[in-house]
Structure 1
């Protein structure tokens, strides 16, 4: 599932490619991917202009000049491609937004969605989300305050979108590794220096992942050389049996709360 770095990469690239562009045509191949009647969605979105593309947690928000917002959540297996009839992937598309001779193809939206909402509806939808992990508002002291009384395991806490928003399966493992903490650790056991290492790991891992374009396998457009660059930078995720880059011990894969989890049992404590 795309996480904060992947969606931030999409935000950056789509802003460069589509900010100010007019949506000339809308095609909906799967009505369950949108939240209003097909005809109403098309009528409202066609002819509007994209003012900006912003991100909140794992969501993208396409701000339209008619006052509406397209709220995107790719969920598991969702991705996008910006191209034309010649270079588009051989996939099934659930929604297509066209901009003249180019189109933005939404792929794999079986669980994901592209919802047409008012700003007030967007605010209500996103209200339960916790703070952005890279926001200046989440200082080290405020992070420590959020930990007070927090129970549960490290892995499940990191992926709890109501606690901190945007971290998922991959980056929770990478953050735990960077902090030298086992994903099984109970949050109320963490002390002083461990909490500081965890906070710094969240910052460094997410910033590095954004710099490398996240781990998405599919480029956003034909000349895209950014998306997916973090694949080769993962220290533990999807590296079961490979040697730890710190201590050479084999990386272990387990299931924790029904989530696949990767860690080094030797240098994470």
Structure 2
């Protein structure tokens, strides 16, 4: 599932290519992927200019000149492609937007994901349920420690809880825990909440891993457009995620793949404590 770095990569790449363009045609191949009847959805965005593209957690907001926004959540298996019919991936598309610049934005794999047309009140209500952004300037170590101290459960289940902390999913939770040398299965009550202790290492690891993943284009390997050499660049840099049974790059021990609260979890039991 795309996480914060993947959606931030999409935002950065799409902003200079889409902002200012007008939606010239709309094709909806799966009506369940949108929140309105297909005709009403299309009528609401046809001829409308894209004013800005923002990201909040794992969501993208295509802000329209009307004040409304297209709120996108890709969920499991979802992705986008900007280009032509000849270049796009050979997969079913659920929604297609033809743009004034001559390209089409394809929304692919929206079986669980969705693209909703919402007014400001509606999309703000959705986003209000989310926890703080882990890379926001005002999300300090002190706020992170307050979040941990007021929560029960294990470390990984807290990191991926979107109401506690937004944007982190399975991949980056495991990578953050590995960077901090702390087991993702640790109960929060056992963590040392001091700047030089567990919380300080976790906070530094969280920021370092997420910023590096953004710089490398996230882990999703499908290019966003023809000639896109950024998207997916972080995939080869994952140190534990999806590497069960392989040797740990830090100590040589075997990476363990297990299950925690119905989620896959990857860690090194030898050098994570």
**Structure 2 length as normaliser, TM-score?**
0.97
Q: Distance in 1 between matches of 2:242 and 2:156?
A: 16
Q: How far does residue 11 in structure 1 lie from its aligned partner after superposition? A: 0.4
1:192-231 residue CA offsets vs partner (Å, 9 max, x unmatched): 2111001111100000000000001200000100000000
Unaligned runs of 5+ in 2: none
Q: Distance in 1 between matches of 2:240 and 2:88?
A: 33
Alignment of 1:201 onto 2:202: no
Which residue in 2 is equivalent to 1:218?
222
Which residue in 2 is equivalent to 1:24?
24
Q: Secondary structure at the match of 1:170?
A: helix
1:21-45 residue CA offsets vs partner (Å, 9 max, x unmatched): 1111011000000001111110011
Alignment of 1:109 onto 2:113: no
Q: Secondary structure at the match of 1:157?
A: helix
Which residue in 2 is equivalent to 1:68?
68
Which residue in 2 is equivalent to 1:158?
159
Q: Distance in 1 between matches of 2:23 and 2:80?
A: 16
Q: Distance in 2 between matches of 1:86 and 1:42?
A: 24
Q: How far does residue 242 in structure 1 lie from its aligned partner after superposition? A: 1.1
Q: How far does residue 188 in structure 1 lie from its aligned partner after superposition? A: 1.4
Which residue in 1 is equivalent to 2:41?
41
How many residues align? The count is 269
Aligned 8 A contact 2:149 2:188 in 1:
no
Q: Distance in 2 between matches of 1:91 and 1:160?
A: 30
Which residue in 2 is equivalent to 1:169?
170
Deviates more, 1:129-138 or 1:83-92: 83-92
Q: Distance in 1 between matches of 2:158 and 2:147?
A: 11
Alignment of 1:268 onto 2:272: yes
CA RMSD of aligned residues (A): 0.7
Runs of 4+ in 1 over 6 A off after TM superposition: none
**Mapping of residues 178-189 of structure 1, within 5 Å:** 178-189=179-190
Q: Distance in 2 between matches of 1:49 and 1:85?
A: 22
Unaligned runs of 5+ in 1: none
Aligned 8 A contact 1:149 1:188 in 2:
no
Alignment of 1:241 onto 2:245: yes
